[in-house]
């Protein structure tokens, strides 16, 4: 039992490192090659855990080889457009100038229900609002609304707005984030002063957000409810 636990911890760490090396993506954003590597790594991780007679290297070495393969393939896709298209395919237009391209839907085996689900997830609840819809190489759908139905921007309305600034969480549940403080050019002492100004200790802060200009928002921890 102890051997299984130790092997599980080792393989768990190996998978985390492997995914970290391959980069940050959500499951829905995985390209074909990344999905294949992810599935193979999960299979390789199970074997050393279940088969105690086999050394851990029997699983770790193939996992490392897969990660190297994925990194090499990613670099090749960056350098070669034809290679990327061969591995990942190319974006496919399914709605063009408001017209649904039925042949492309059949090619993708995309039902009308699937199409409308994707449109709703892009905040389009009427087919008449859509100018273009494109299925990307990772399977997600990008939607461009027709001009009359699209949101009006401040520039189009002739309205002057303040420049956008970055807001980051500098304190989360009483813990300082040095990385976030560096992003907005602030120090731990500044964060403590802001908490003190709000009548709180740093450990009593649930969330503190900050902007580069110094604007911040402080939310205190709520007392835990007793059952």
Confidence (pTM): 0.59
For position 55, what pLDDT does the model report? 74
Residue 63 exposed, middle or buried by CB count within 10 Å (0-12, 13-18, 19+): buried
Query: What mean pLDDT, rounded, does the chain reach?
Result: 81
Say yes or no: 137 and 180 in one domain: no
pLDDT of residue 4: 64
Are 36 and 98 part of one and the same domain?
A: no
**104 belongs to a structural domain:** yes
Provide the sign of the torsion angle of the four alpha carbons 33, 40, 109, 30, taken in this order: negative
C-alpha to C-alpha distance for 15 and 45, rounded to whole angstroms = 8
Do 6 and 82 belong together in one domain? yes
What DSSP assignment string belongs to the chain?
-HHHHHHHHHHHHHHHHHHHHH----GGG--HHHHHHHHHHHHHHHHHHH-TTS-THHHHHHHHHHHHHHHHHHHHHHH-HHHHHHHH---EEEEETTEE-HHHHHHHT--HHHHHHHHHHTT---GGGEEEEEE-TTS-EEEEE-GGGSPPPHHHHT---PPP---EEEEETTEE-HHHHHHTT--HHHHHHHHHHTT--GGGEEEEEE-TTS-EEEEEPPPPPP-
Asked if residue 157 belongs to a domain, the reply is no
Strand order through the sheet with 141-145: 99-100, 92-96, 130-135, 141-145
Residues 7 and 75 in one domain: yes
Q: Give residue 208's pLDDT.
A: 93
Let me know the angle formed at the C-alpha of 216 by 211 and 218, rounded to the nearest 5 degrees.
140
Residues 184 and 115 in one domain: no
- The reply to whether 159 falls in a domain is no
Q: How many domains does the chain have?
A: 3
User: Is there a domain that residue 160 lies in?
Assistant: no
Last residue of a domain, one of 67, 86, 105: 86
Instruction: Give CA–CA dist 65/219, Å, rounded.
Output: 47
What is the CATH number for 181?
A: 3.30.240.20
Residue 26's pLDDT is: 47
Q: pLDDT per residue over 5-46, tens digit each?
A: 677 777 777 766 766 666 555 445 566 666 677 777 777 777
Residue 88: band (very low, low, confident or very high) from pLDDT cuts 50, 70, 90: confident
Mean pLDDT, rounded, for 51-67: 75
Question: Measured between alpha carbons, how far is 67 from 84 in angstroms, rounded to an integer?
Answer: 18
Mean pLDDT of 170-193: 91
- Please tell me whether residues 66 and 20 are part of one structural domain: yes
Q: Which domain holds residue 145?
A: 92-149
Per the structure block, which two tokens stand in for 116? 């409308």
Is 9 found in the same domain as 72? yes
Residues 196 and 216 in one domain: yes
Would residue 37 count as lying in a domain? yes
Residues 16 and 82 in one domain: yes
Q: What per-residue confidence (pLDDT) applies to 86?
A: 77
For residue 155, being part of any structural domain is answered with: no
pLDDT of residue 19: 65
Please give, one letter per residue, the 3-state secondary structure of 122-186.
Answer: CCCCCHHHEEEEEECCCCCEEEEECHHHCCCCHHHHCCCCCCCCCCEEEEECCEECHHHHHHCCC
């Amino acid at each position: 039992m102890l051997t299984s636990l130790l092997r599980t911890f080792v393989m768990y760490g190996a998978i985390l490192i492997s995914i970290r090396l391959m980069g940050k993506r959500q499951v829905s954003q995985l390209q074909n090659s990344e999905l294949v590597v992810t599935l193979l790594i999960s299979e390789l991780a199970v074997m050393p855990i279940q088969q105690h007679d086999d050394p851990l290297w029997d699983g770790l070495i193939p996992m490392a080889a897969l990660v190297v393969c994925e990194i090499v393939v990613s670099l090749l896709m960056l350098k070669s457009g034809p290679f990327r298209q061969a591995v990942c395919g190319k974006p496919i237009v399914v709605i063009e100038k408001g017209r649904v391209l039925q042949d492309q839907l059949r090619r993708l085996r995309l039902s009308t229900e699937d199409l409308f689900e994707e449109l709703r997830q892009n905040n389009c609840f009427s087919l008449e609002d859509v100018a273009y819809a494109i299925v990307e190489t990772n399977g997600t759908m990008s939607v461009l609304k027709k001009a009359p139905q699209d949101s009006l921007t401040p520039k189009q309305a002739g309205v002057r707005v303040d420049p956008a600034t970055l807001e980051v969480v500098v304190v989360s549940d009483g813990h300082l984030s040095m990385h976030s403080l560096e992003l907005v050019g602030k120090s731990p002492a500044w964060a403590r002063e802001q908490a003190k100004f709000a009548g709180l200790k740093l450990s009593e802060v649930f969330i503190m957000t900050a902007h580069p200009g110094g604007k911040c928002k402080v939310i205190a921890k709520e007392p835990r409810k007793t059952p």
